[in-house]
Amino acid sequence: MQRLPLIAPNPPRLADYRDALERIERSGIYSNFGPEARRFEEAATARLFGGRGASLTVANATLGLMIALKDAVGEGGGRLAVMPALTFAATAEAAWWAGLTPLVCDVDPDDWTTSALAEEQLLLRHGEKIAALVPYATFGRAIDLDRYAWLARRHGVKVVIDAAASLGTTDADGLGFGAGAPFPVVFSMHATKPFAVAEGALIHCGDRDTIERLRAMANFGFAGARSATLPGLNAKLPEVLAAIANAQLDRFDAVCAAREQVAAAYRNAIAGHYAIQPAPIGRQALGFFPLMLPEGVDREQVIAALDAAGIGCGKYFSPHLGEQPWVREVATIEPTPVADALGARIVSLPLSDRMTAADAERVIAALDAACATPRIARVHAGQPRIAETLIVGGGPAGTALLTAASKHGLLPALAPGLVVVERDATIGGGQLGRYAITSDSTAQTFLTAVNGNPCPEISALTEHPSARAVARYQDALGVPLVEVGPLLRVTGDRLHRIVTDHGGSVLTGHEVVAIRRDDDGLWRVRIRDLATDAEHEQIARNVVVATGGHQPLDRLVAQRVAGAPLTELAPDRLMQSDDVLTVGGFEKVADLLRAIRSPRIAVIGGSTSALTTIALLLKGQPALPLGVGAITLLHRRPLRPFYHSVEAAQAEGFDDFGPDDICPVSGFVYRLAGFRLEARELVLRMLRVDAREPDPRVALHRIGDDEARAREIIAGADLVIAALGYRPRAVPVERVDGAPLRLAADEGGALVDRHCRVLDASGAAVPGLYGIGLAAGFVPWGKLGGEASFVGQANGLWLWQNDVGMMIVDQLLASRGRQAA
C-alpha cells in the first residue's frame, strides 16, 4: 500500500514554467522587488484579499514577523510581546530579534488559539509594558481580527498576526483571512505549506503606508535613494521564487478544494472520537490534520504503529513554545495547563495535495487500531512508597523552603524522597503575581534568591528577563507584584528540575484533600488529580503545609468594630482588601463609586494590606474623585514606621520608640511592626514626621479613642474595605480514626510555634507536621531578631527563603539522619 508521508511538498515545477524563467532572464532583474514579485503582490491582493489593502513579498515568514514587529514597536527596550504557547519557535525568535521579551501565555481549550482571557488578564496586569500582541492563527484557523483591533485601541498596544499556516484560509464568503486588517498579517509560503513555493512569505495589511514602510525595511531600510532611513535588513524575495508563487496562485483554488475534501473526510471518519479544532465557518488551510489522542494513550507507540502501517505522523507543537530550552532562557512564561495537555497528546496526521478521502479514512482506521491496542496504555510512574517529606503547596512559601536549601547547597540532599503537591500548572508563583500593587520588599530582596546562589541553574537567572524586570526597581519603593510573579515562576521551574533530577517528585495540577497521622507515626496523604478527579494515597514521614492565607467571608460575619457587628454597620457596602488589591480590583471600586460625586471610603485595619489599599486608591487611574478626608483609615494600634537605625529615626525627629522597639540583632527600629517602602511613606506623612505634610485626602481615626465616631464614619461611608489580615488556608488534618484533629489555627491562634511546627488546639506540636507562609503566625526569635514589643506574626519572602525556611530544612534533614541511624 502506498506510503502516506506526513508532509509532501508539491510546489509548481520550474520546468513547467519556462516562460516565466525566460522573462526573468530578459529583464535582468533577479531580486529587489522585480516585476515577478510585484505581479504576484498585486494578484494576491486582488484574488486572495478581495482587492483590499496591499501585500508585500519577503524571503520568509520569520523575517516578515521581524520587520513587522520592529515597525510596530520601534525600540523594544525589553518590553513584552504576548504570544501563545502553541506556536512555532519563530514567533518568539522574531520578537526577540525585534528587541522584545516574549511573554508566553496559554491557549483556548476549544479551538487551540490564544486564550482571550489570558491575553486580557496580561494586558490588565502589565499595562504599558506590553508592546505587542502576536497571536498565532493556529494550524491555519481564522481568529477574530476585529477583537484584536479593539484590544489595540483600548490598550494602546500593537498587533502583528502570525498567520504562517493560513494562506488559503477564508471566511464563509470566500474572502481570505486577514483581508484589509489594520495591522500586518504574515503568511508563510514555505514548501510544506498549502501555498507551497520553495521559501517565501507574504505580508498583507489594509494600510498601504504600512506595507511601503515594510518594503523599505526589507530592502536595508532604503526608502528612496540608497541611503537607510529606517531600520532594515535584506528580506527580499528572489524573482525565481516569485515566479513559482505566481504559478501556485493560478492553481491554488484547485489545491485548496482538494485539501478541503480530505479534511472533511478526516472529520467524518473521526466522528467525535478524538478532540479536534471545531470545523471552520469558511475554509481552513491545513498543512496536516491535528488532533488530540485520548488520555492515557502512549503517543510514541501510536506514532510507531502508524509508521509501521505506512503512515507518517508528527506532533506539532510538542514541545510547545514554553517548553523549549532557549525560549525558557529569554522569555517570561505564564502557566499553560491547556497547552501542556495539548502538547503532550497532540498528533499531526498527513494531509497533502495528492491525498484522497479514502486515504483519510485509512489513516483514522489505523489510528483507531493503534489507540485500541492494550500494550500502548501509558504506564504512570508511581510516587515513592514512603516519601521522606511531602510539601502541600508549591507557591512562594513552599518553594521558599527549596530556595533556602539551594542557597546552602542542600537541595540535592533534601530532594530524594521529596514530593511537592501544587494545584497550579507550575510551582513558584502562587497567587502573588495577581496583585496590582507594589511590594513591601525591595527589588534586592527578591533577587537574593538567585544572586550568588550556589546552584548554577538558579544563579544563571540573574540574566533572565524576569530578573532584569525586577532589577529595574532597585531604587524604587518596592516592586510591582506583577513583575515578581514571573521571577518566582521561573525560579520555581529551576527548582522543579533540580528536585526531579535528584530523585524528588513534583505533582502539579494536584491538590491534597486531607492528611491523616497513623499510629505508626507516618502520614497518609490523600491527593486528587484536578484534571480527572482521581485520588491516590501517598505515605510520608513529614508534611510541610504551605497553602497560603485567605480572607474568609465568615470572618466578616463574626467581626465586631467599635462594639458593633461589621456586617450590620455596612451590610451592602463592604469589600475585603484582597478583592481591591488584586488585578481588576481598583476598576471594581471605580465601578461601584461611579455615580457618586464625592465618595467616602472607610478602610478598617492597621496592617500593611490596609495601607497598601489606601495607596492603590490614591494613585489608581483613572483617578477617583477624592476630596479632602475622602478616605478614613480606622485602626486600633499605633502606626509605626520602620527605620534602619536609631540614628536614622532621630535624624528625622522620630522618637516614639523605646528599647523594646529596637531589634537587638540588626539595630532596626520597629523591624517587624514598622511599615516599609510605599506604606511607610504614607505613614510618615500621616504622622507629619520630619515636617512632612499629610495627604489631605486621607484621615486617621483610632477606634479605641472614640468608638461612636468610628461607627459614624463607617455608617457614612459609600464603601467600607475590611483589611483584617489573613487566616491560614490549612489542609484538613485527621487523627488515626479519621476524626478531625483540631489545630490552634482553628481556634484563632497561630498555626505554628517558634520552630515552625504545627500546633494542635491544646498548643502541643504535632510530630512531623510543619507550616510556613502567609498567616502561619510565625514570630522571629533568637538569631532571627525582631523587637521584644512585637505582637502579631511576621511574613516575608526573604524570611521564608532564608532563616525560616532553613529552620524547617534543618529539622527535616535531622529527621532523615535519625531514620538512617
Question: pLDDT digit string (tens) for 658-702?
Answer: 999 999 999 999 999 999 999 999 999 999 999 999 999 999 999
The pLDDT of residue 820 = 61
Question: What is the residue-wise DSSP string for 497-538?
Answer: HHHHHTT-EEEETEEEEEEEE-TTSPEEEEEEETTT--EEEE
Q: Give bridge partners of residue 226 from the DSSP assignment.
A: none
Question: What is the residue-wise DSSP string for 702-729?
Answer: EGGG-HHHHHHHHHH-SEEEE----EE-
The pLDDT of residue 273 = 86
Describe the crossing of helices 239-270 and 35-48 by its angle, rounded to 10 degrees.
30
Question: pLDDT digit string (tens) for 489-532?
Answer: 899 989 999 999 999 999 998 999 999 999 888 999 999 988 78
- Write the Ramachandran bin of 310: left for phi over 0, alpha for psi from -120 to 50, otherwise beta: left
The pLDDT of residue 616 = 94
SS3 sequence, 44-76?
Answer: HHHHHCCCCCEEEEECCHHHHHHHHHHHHHCCC
How far is it, in rounded angstroms, from Cα 31 to Cα 55?
A: 17
Q: In this structure, which amino acid lies at residue 328?
A: R
pLDDT of 116 above 50: yes
Question: pLDDT digit string (tens) for 706-728?
Answer: 999 999 999 999 999 999 888 88
Asked if residues 321 and 85 have their Cβ atoms less than 8 Å apart, the reply is: yes
The three three-digit cell numbers of residue 394, written as one number: 508549591
Q: Mean pLDDT lowest for which of 5-14, 253-262, 646-655?
A: 5-14
Spatial CA neighbour of 356 closest among 255, 258, 257: 258
How far is it, in rounded angstroms, from Cα 11 to Cα 193?
A: 9
Spatial CA neighbour of 695 closest among 627, 635, 601, 643: 627
Q: How confident is the model at residue 819 (pLDDT cuts 50, 70, 90)?
A: low
The pLDDT of residue 378 = 35
- The reply to whether 553-639+675-725 shares the fold of 386-551+728-820 is yes
Bond before 319 cis per omega within 30 degrees: yes
Domain spans, the chain: 30-168+175-254, 386-551+728-820, 553-639+675-725
The pLDDT of residue 58 = 97
For residue 388, the 8-state DSSP code is E
Question: pLDDT digit string (tens) for 310-340?
Answer: 999 999 999 999 999 999 999 999 989 899 9
How far is it, in rounded angstroms, from Cα 192 to Cα 348?
A: 13
CATH architecture of 386-551+728-820: 3-Layer(bba) Sandwich (3.50)
Question: pLDDT digit string (tens) for 206-247?
Answer: 999 999 999 999 999 998 778 898 999 999 999 999 999 999
The pLDDT of residue 536 = 93
Question: pLDDT digit string (tens) for 242-299?
Answer: 999 999 999 999 999 999 999 999 999 998 889 999 988 899 999 999 999 998 899 9
How far is it, in rounded angstroms, from Cα 393 to Cα 508?
A: 9
pLDDT of 77 above 90: no
The CATH label, of 1.10.3470, 3.40.50, 3.30.70, 3.50.50, for the domain at 553-639+675-725 is 3.50.50
How far is it, in rounded angstroms, from Cα 128 to Cα 384?
A: 47
- CA torsion sign for 179, 185, 186, 187 is negative
User: Which residues are CB-neighbours of 11 under 8 A, at least 6 positions away?
Assistant: 191, 196, 197, 198, 244, 248
How far is it, in rounded angstroms, from Cα 378 to Cα 293?
A: 12
The three three-digit cell numbers of residue 260, written as one number: 478541503
- Owner of C-alpha cell 525585534: 98
pLDDT higher at 791 or 80: 80
The pLDDT of residue 701 = 95
The pLDDT of residue 213 = 96
- Write the Ramachandran bin of 441: left for phi over 0, alpha for psi from -120 to 50, otherwise beta: beta
What value, to the nearest 5°, has the Cα angle with vertex 809 and ends 808 and 815? 90
Q: How confident is the model at residue 426 (pLDDT cuts 50, 70, 90)?
A: confident
User: How far is Cα of residue 191 from the mean position of the Cα atoms in its chain?
Assistant: 34
How far is it, in rounded angstroms, from Cα 691 to Cα 352?
A: 78
pLDDT of 376 above 50: no
Asked if residues 633 and 561 have their Cβ atoms less than 8 Å apart, the reply is: no
How far is it, in rounded angstroms, from Cα 773 to Cα 722?
A: 21
pLDDT of 623 above 80: yes
Q: Give bridge partners of residue 290 from the DSSP assignment.
A: 348
**How high does pLDDT run on average in the chain?**
91
pLDDT of 475 above 50: yes
Asked if residues 343 and 323 have their Cβ atoms less than 8 Å apart, the reply is: yes
How far is it, in rounded angstroms, from Cα 476 to Cα 641?
A: 17
Question: pLDDT digit string (tens) for 137-190?
Answer: 999 999 999 999 999 999 999 999 999 999 999 998 899 999 999 999 999 999
How far is it, in rounded angstroms, from Cα 762 to Cα 744?
A: 7
pLDDT higher at 152 or 791: 152
Asked if residues 350 and 362 have their Cβ atoms less than 8 Å apart, the reply is: no
Asked if residues 427 and 515 have their Cβ atoms less than 8 Å apart, the reply is: no
User: How far is Cα of residue 811 from the mean position of the Cα atoms in its chain?
Assistant: 34
pLDDT of 379 above 50: no
Bond before 317 cis per omega within 30 degrees: yes
Question: pLDDT digit string (tens) for 529-575?
Answer: 887 888 999 999 999 999 988 888 877 777 888 888 888 888 889 99
The three three-digit cell numbers of residue 553, written as one number: 467571608
The pLDDT of residue 295 = 82
The three three-digit cell numbers of residue 312, written as one number: 507518517
CATH topology classification for 30-168+175-254: Aspartate Aminotransferase; domain 2 (3.40.640)
